[in-house]
Amino acid sequence: MGEQRYRWKGSELRAQAAVIDGKQSPTKVLVNATYLHSYFREWVKGNIWIHGDRIVYAGERLPDRVDEACEIVDCRGYVLVPGYIEPHVHPFQLYNPHSFARYAAAHGTTTLINDNLFLLLQLDDEEALLFLQEMNALPTSMYWWCRFDGQTELEREEEQVSNARIKRWLDQEAVLQGGELTSWPKVASGDDIILYWMQEAHRRRRKIEGHFPGASEKTLVKMALFGADGDHEAMTGKEVRMRLWHGYTVALRHSSIRPDLPVLLEEMKALGIRHYDKCLLTTDGSPPAFYENGVIDWLIRIAIEHGVPVIDAYAMATINAARHYGIEHLHGSIATGRIAHINFLRSAHDPTPAQVLAKGEWVKRDGEAPPLWPAPEWSRFGIRPLSLSWELEWDDLQFSMPMGLRMENAVILKPYSVSIDTSRDRLGHDHDECFLALFDRNGRWRVNTMLKGFSSVLGGLASSYSNTGDLILIGKHKEDMMLAFRRMKEIGGGIVLAEDGEILFELSLPLGGMMSSLEVDELINEEKTFVRLLRERGYPFEDPVYSLLFLQSTHLPYVRVTQRGIYDVMHKTVLFPSIMR
């Protein structure tokens, strides 16, 4: 794979300098601009010259040479701020990285720092790194993490998360951090392999993002000594304060399952926290419908409404993130040399932009629909519709395990003793217990148990959307579960609901069985329909999409259904192994 070694070639740098000398025209000039100066921390007036994708000058002067091809933009009536940075993106939550980047850009979030878990588990490195190059060509800036674990118990963990793969990922210029560190208990209990990867990440000037929900001060101190730089799991003002006290950068989260930002800000204020230089903002990779109100622009609005000074609110979404990740020379401010990500606001108190420049090109114009971006040729990267070469048999839906999983909320699962008769083909609607099965997508093994708390009347649900891409079946009626599975197979992967022998709902996920090819606007409506149908059938929690995703996720307590079987997270043991088919 060819890769440009520098952000700008020498010839491009010479052309930019020629603009300053008046020997060449810029490509855009923003005149009469009122813009946020991130270093003086004040609103200033001036003119901004852009050449290609770079700001070559921001100040009082106008260029000496302006050709007819140069676009002059009168900025009167607007307030300009840097493009927003989302530092914690899971870009495979039904949407895909391409569609989410476009949607986020139209809301002013022009730089995304993305989870690589799907790429690590589903693609080989050649395909994955080629995909990174494709995403780098988008109008937005796309950066990535390097995961150190699969966030579950993997059948072939030593192959999928190997030393050679981790080091190869860390060597990529687009990779800015190791983590998120969901495997921190292994590090704390003596896992020197992950500790070594953390050290290698730091040697390459990468950050380490923690995942420390409910962590004690002792744990936070130890993880800081091991190399953790930031964390996004603070759920109270006291937890924010403790992380700041020990030198962490804290991403204040507002997500579908943890909409905490208003509480965090109010509790921080009550604790006397008045400085936000080490605070960022994140939506933590929420499902599509959560973004109906915006992306980082929505969080800036919440911050301003809860008393954060306006400039601090924008700093949390721009310069603070750029500084933390070592990309301040490219992002986070409207200043000479930065990539031309600029949001045009109607007011400093209205962070949703009317117009957006990304890499010097318009991705949103006032009163116009955002332009479509050419879709990637997904098959080039090994991202294809799900193709199953095996059939689900009636014997696969035998449930005799004495222990099941009980939902405490959308994502926390506890063990419980199964007391109902599970030998029947249809369960009653007078309780909230369902059949639950996890199938290897290659048909080699299965795990059969019960799930309590998901629904009281669900016929059958089949999903290829899961943490590992393995297949989930949930339901009261085995025939509906079989029907949902067959339809999910026919459409090349997706989420399907069946009831009384009919298909009630289907969401096609043709991109690896995990992602839709729809634009986010369309996907929002599809997800709303799915959630409504599940709620009508007794689903009681905030987010069924995350419930499906986290059934396997061993970074959460207390038990999980994994490739190895039913897994006790607290004791790190397999309680009931998976069964070969």
Angle at CA 158, nearest 5°, toward 157 and 159? 90
- Residue 403, classed as helix, strand or coil, is strand
Query: 566: which strand partners?
Result: 561, 576
By C-alpha distance, which of 29, 28, 34 is closest to 76? 34
- Residue 359, classified by CB atoms within 10 Å of its CB into exposed (0-12), middle (13-18) or buried (19+), is buried
- Burial of residue 269 (CB within 10 Å: 0-12, 13-18, 19+) is middle
pLDDT per position as a tens digit, 406-451: 999 999 999 999 999 999 999 999 999 999 999 999 999 999 999 9
In one-letter notation, the amino acid at residue 263 is V
CB 474, CB 458: distance < 8 Å: yes
CA distance 380 to 202: 32
Taking a C-beta distance cutoff of 8 angstroms, is the pair 468, 150 a contact?
Answer: yes
Q: What is the maximal distance between C-alpha atoms in the chain?
A: 84
Which residues sit opposite 49 in a β-bridge?
Answer: 29, 57
Closest C-alpha to 314, from 331, 295, 297, 339: 297
Residue 480 tokens, joined? 């509906």
Distance (Å, whole) CA 520 – CA 107: 12
Do residues 180 and 88 make contact, with C-beta atoms less than 8 angstroms apart? yes
pLDDT at residue 371, as a whole number: 84
Dig out the tokens for 258 from the structure: 């943890």
Compute the distance between CA of residue 457 and CA of residue 426 in angstroms, rounded to an integer.
11
Q: Is the peptide bond before 173 cis (omega within 30 degrees of 0)?
A: no
Contacts of 351 (CB under 8 A, 6+ apart): 81, 84, 108, 297, 300, 301, 304, 313, 314, 317, 343, 345
For position 437, what pLDDT does the model report?
Answer: 98
Question: For residue 15, what are its two tokens?
Answer: 């052309």
In this prediction, the residues of the chain whose per-residue pLDDT falls under 50 are 1-3
Question: Can you give the pLDDT at residue 2?
Answer: 42
Reduced to 3 states, what is the DSSP secondary structure of residue 515?
strand
SS3 322: helix
pLDDT in tens, 523-559: 999 999 999 999 999 999 999 999 999 999 999 999 9
| Residues in contact with 359: Cβ distance below 8 Å, sequence separation at least 6, in sequence order | 53, 139, 140, 141, 339, 340, 341
Structure tokens at 293: 């109100």
Q: How far apart are CA 518 and CA 523, in angstroms?
A: 6
Both tokens of 143, joined, read: 């950066």
Closest CA to 252 of 233, 277, 227: 233
CA distance 566 to 559: 7
Chain centroid to CA 572: 27
**Residue 61 phi, psi dihedral angles, 5° rounding:** -75, 160
Instruction: Give all strands (DSSP E) within 193-278, no chain letters.
Output: 207-210, 230-231, 249-253
Residues linked to residue 44 through DSSP beta bridges, in sequence order: 35
Contact 234, 252 (CB under 8 A): yes
Q: 490: which residues sit within 8 A by CB, 6+ positions away?
A: none
Q: How far apart are CA 316 and CA 232, in angstroms?
A: 13
> pLDDT value at position 4?
59
CA-CA distance, 387 to 398, in Å (whole number)? Answer: 24
